Structure 1
Amino acid sequence: MPLPRLAARAVIVEDGRLLLVNAYADAGSTLWCAPGGGVEAGTSLPENLIREVHEETGLTIRVGPPCLINEFHAPSTGFHQVEVFFRCTLVSGTLSDDWRDPEQIVTRRRWVTEAEMGDLRIKPDSLARVAFQRGMGYDPLEEIVGP
């Protein structure tokens, strides 16, 4: 069985809205998540997160404290990911439909209010609660959901 993959994700709330990106490259997917991604060995979680957020959104961020740990897996494949979410602030940039993720995974980005999150498919389940409240969260092993 492969080792768990480590990822870092950004919880960015500006003007009462949380930044979300599409979770799968499949344009038909309705699943949204916080920006971020896999960690490269030899660089810190914040360094990885700054890089990933810029690649996916074109935004520059400042990384703050951790606020959520989430882990999920796909029992059929053995895939297991542990994600560390950090409270982040926007330093510069604006969202643009013209921005291109070099990995071609993130194609949609949007700011949403807590109320709007109720109408969306979002993972992890606790993201809205953690984003709009203070404190730390932990989501134990969830089964992965598809596009």
Structure 2
Amino acid sequence: MRPKSPRLAVRAIIVENDRLLIVNAWPDGQSPLMCAPGGGAEVHSSLPDNLMREVFEETGLRVTVGAPCLVNEFHDPNGHFHQVDVYFHCTITPDSPRPDTWRDTENVVTDQRWVTRAELEQTPHKPDSLADMAFGGASLLYDPLEPLVK
């Protein structure tokens, strides 16, 4: 039997005032692991359109999607989960609402924070190269397959 194909997802690198927006997308906060906002790509919708939808669902923010900047693969070596994330630089649109509080429309995101590089380094997060991409000025990175850590 052929293994299931990897899941394709999109994620947003949103940096404002030297702070990166990160979220916890583990249902019921089952893990402290944080990541960039985003999620699974739906068929018949472009990657940027998927990303705009996912960011709004998770944060209430409207974004403009820029250039891709990181491709990351991760998997659960003891299970069947394998995902490929395509990250894009994004900016919040000038007309975007800026809610003080926001509840993910699918009730998956349990936390969202704006963090500095130093704060990110003290926060469990994936991928390992997130800080370099967000704060290091790298133009395009490829993260080889890394284990998903809870």
CA distance in 2, matches of 1:116, 1:100: 23
Report the secondary structure of 1:65's partner residue.
Answer: strand
- Indicate the SS of the match to 1:78: coil
- Structure 1's unaligned 5+ residue stretches are none
Q: 1:95 & 1:115 partners in 2: Cα distance?
A: 25
Q: Residue 142 of structure 1 aligns with which residue?
A: 146
| Map of 1:30 onto structure 2 | 32
Aligned residue in 1 for 2:100 = 96
Cα shift readout 1:48-79 (whole Å, capped 9, x = no counterpart): 00000000000000000011000011122221
Q: 2:108 aligns with which of 89, 105, 109?
A: 105
Percent identity between the two aligned chains: 57
More divergent stretch after superposition (55-64 vs 135-144): 135-144
Query: Out of 79, 82, 94, which is 2:81 matched to?
Result: 79
The RMSD of aligned alpha carbons is: 1.1
Quote how far apart the aligned CAs of 1:96 are: 2.8
Deviation at 1:21, TM superposition (A): 0.3
Q: Which consecutive segments of 4 or more residues in structure 1 shift more than 6 A?
A: none
The gaps in structure 2 that reach 5 residues or longer are none
Indicate if the aligned counterparts of 2:23 and 2:37 stay in contact, CA closer than 8 A.
Answer: yes
SS of 2:31's partner is: coil
Deviations 1:99-126 (A, max 9, x none): 2212111021110011111110010000
Deviation at 1:82, TM superposition (A): 0.2
Q: Distance in 2 between matches of 1:95 and 1:110?
A: 13
Amino acid at match of 2:103: R
Change (3 A) 1:142 1:95: farther
- Separation in 1, partners of 2:119, 2:15: 14
**Secondary structure of the corresponding residue to residue 34 of structure 2:** strand
**Which structure shows the higher strand fraction?**
1
Aligned residue for 1:49, secondary structure, equals helix
TM-score (norm 1): 0.94
- Structure 2 residue matching 1:88: 3-state secondary structure: strand
Q: TM-score, normalised by structure 2?
A: 0.92
The Cα shift of 1:95 comes to 4.3
Deviation at 1:23, TM superposition (A): 3.1
Q: Between Structure 1 and Structure 2, how many residues are aligned?
A: 145
